[in-house]
Amino acid sequence: MAHDTIPLMGGKSVHCINEQQMAEAWRLTEQEPGSSAKIQAALEKLEQDLTRNERAALAFVIISRLKATAPLPQA
């Protein structure tokens, strides 16, 4: 039985990104020497090579992997 694809661009998310995190992400992407050029180049390539749904899937997988490898807080 074939599975219908689930659109990932919209609706309620199980992940929450706060405004400070988003602001820092934009700063790294737009202003940080060294990081911004690498991030911009990667985004440009991904946007050329992947559909919107594929990019959304990749974003969710990256977030999940980051959560799984997050360093433990120092006491």
Which pLDDT score is estimated for 1? 45
pLDDT, mean of residues 50-70: 90
Model pTM score: 0.68
CB 5 within 8 A of CB 54: no
- Statement: residue 6 has pLDDT above 80: no
- Statement: residue 32 has pLDDT above 80: yes
Confidence of residue 66 (pLDDT cuts 50, 70, 90): confident
CB 28 within 8 A of CB 73: no
- Statement: residue 39 has pLDDT above 80: yes
CB 28 within 8 A of CB 36: yes
CB 52 within 8 A of CB 42: no
